[in-house]
Amino acid sequence: LQVVGVECSRRAIARFAAEQGLELVQGDGGAAEAGVTTWSVGPCTVCECDWFDAVPKALGGTFDLAYDAAALTAVDPALRGDYVGVLSKLLRPSAHVLLLAAEFDEGACDPAALALGPHSLGLEEVRTLFSGFDVEVVEEEVEEPPAEGGEYNKLRG
């Protein structure tokens, strides 16, 4: 099993290694010409680069599985199609994508808090973005807002 990740922040890569208790070792620079710095983090390879510059050659090929832990929700909604385009080029034809995303009422949120994401991502938009995929909801969780005076209000001050 080959595990490859893409991250634009060296600090986030180092934090991942520390959280997992793994040694962080810079790669040999083989992908440097593509603007990618590779890092070995235990059994994983993490490619430090801008997602929109990620190409199969720089990442070591194409993949059978992609796991998106809410990265798509962090992307400016106007760039989501481009994001999925990059992802599609990194996947083999029979690949699967596991996507974690939240749908919520952005109008009920402070616009300043949403400026850099996350942004709401509903099922219909997922179906549109991933039109070449069979989209299946694996799990759906509905969170109720806390009652008046609950933890949310305590944290907001």
Residue 68 lies in a domain: yes
φ, ψ at 110 (rounded to 5°) = -65, 120
Task: Clarify whether residues 25 and 83 are in a common domain.
Answer: no
Task: Clarify whether residues 106 and 131 are in a common domain.
Answer: yes
Could you check whether the bond before residue 111 is cis, i.e. omega within 30 degrees of 0? no
Rounded to two decimals, the pTM is 0.81
Task: Clarify whether residues 82 and 119 are in a common domain.
Answer: yes
Three-class DSSP category at 25: strand
pLDDT digits (tens, 9 = 90+) for 100-109: 998 988 888 8
d(CA 98, CA 126): 12
Q: Tell me the residue range of the domain where 124 lies.
A: 61-135
Task: Clarify whether residues 23 and 65 are in a common domain.
Answer: no
Structure tokens at 78: 């106007």
Q: Where are the beta strands (DSSP E) in 33-135?
A: 37-41, 44-48, 63-69, 91-100
Task: Clarify whether residues 44 and 66 are in a common domain.
Answer: no
pLDDT of residue 154: 40
Pick from 116, 157, 123: nearest CA to 137: 123
Task: Clarify whether residues 122 and 69 are in a common domain.
Answer: yes
pLDDT digits (tens, 9 = 90+) for 111-145: 888 888 899 999 999 999 999 888 888 888 776 65
Pick from 120, 9, 35: nearest CA to 72: 120
> How many domains are contained in the chain?
2
Structure tokens at 65: 């599985």
